Chains A and B, each alone.
Chain A
Amino acid sequence: KAGVTQTPRYLIKTRGQQVTLSCSPISGHRSVSWYQQTPGQGLQFLFEYFSETQRNKGNFPGRFSGRQFSNSRSEMNVSTLELGDSALYLCASSLPSGGADEQFFGPGTRLTVL
């Protein structure tokens, strides 16, 4: 079974631009969570989608948004990029079964904002 894939793997943008990152979950997984990883703040939860609905959200500004499609693929969008948005963005998929299902992580998208 193929793992979680994320595209693109690397991105360079300038301040003020917007960016869209994509995540394809493992086949059969319906929940997708997004995380931001930075050296200073560590790993922080952005949001979680299930059946095309955002079920949970972290403490990030409204510039960070996401969506999920009927095939469970998910995208996250960051508008009006700031230097501090430079980070590794990880997505993770899980079944879920109602408990704390194992989250399977993708390789991440490294975003650099200049």
Chain B
Amino acid sequence: AQTVTQSQPEMSVQEAETVTLSCTYDTSENNYYLFWYKQPPSRQMILVIRQEAYKQQNATENRFSVNFQKAAKSFSLKISDSQLGDTAMYFCAFMKYGSGNTGKLIFGQGTTLQVKP
């Protein structure tokens, strides 16, 4: 079975600084996807960034980028120029590719990030 581990329950960062959230996962699969979701206090879950396992190039979305190390099964999220609106809980998630695995995200326990002014 696949598992996702986020070892940092809480983190804080000063506004405009950079922070990195860690995520490791365990799988024997080759075809899968990894995601970072953000859940602000409003509780609405929002996709931040996604990475296809077959792609070696790390995904980036504006101030958000990932460091995907497939051999190490590591998938960290870097937030540059942190903003107050980045304050939220961040979830790392895994999805196995293929029939029989549809629609199922496996989430880590989450990291609460507070951006301080």
Q: Which residues of A contact B (CB under 8 A)?
A: 31-33, 35, 42-45, 48, 50, 55-56, 58, 88, 90, 92, 94, 96, 99-100, 102-108
Which one of B20-28, B63-71, B104-112 is at the interface?
A: B104-112
| Bound: A48/B102 CA distance, A | 7
**Total CB contacts across the A-B interface at under 8 A:** 66
Shortest CB-to-CB span from A28 to chain B, Å, is 16
| Bound: A31/B104 CA distance, A | 11
With a cutoff of 8 Å between Cβ atoms, the chain B residues found around residue A105 in the complex are 37, 44-46
Q: Chain B, interface size: which category?
A: 20 to 34
Contacting residue for B103 out of A33, A42, A107, CB 8 A: A33
Which one of B10-18, B78-86, B93-101 is at the interface?
A: B93-101
Shortest CB-to-CB span from B38 to chain A, Å, is 11
Interface centre among A88, A105, A106, A107 (most CB of B within 10 A): A105
| Residue B91 lies at the interface, judged by CB distance under 8 Å to chain A | yes
| Bound: A40/B104 CA distance, A | 20
Shortest CB-to-CB span from A88 to chain B, Å, is 7
With a cutoff of 8 Å between Cβ atoms, the chain A residues found around residue B102 in the complex are 31, 48, 50, 55-56, 96
Shortest CB-to-CB span from B42 to chain A, Å, is 8
Q: Which 7 pairs of residues, A with B, have the shortest CB-CB distance?
A: A48-B103, A105-B45, A100-B33, A43-B107, A33-B103, A100-B95, A45-B104
| Bound: A45/B104 CA distance, A | 6
Residue pair B50, A102 in contact (C-beta under 8 Å): yes
| Bound: A44/B97 CA distance, A | 18
Beta-carbon nearest neighbor of A105 in chain B:
B45
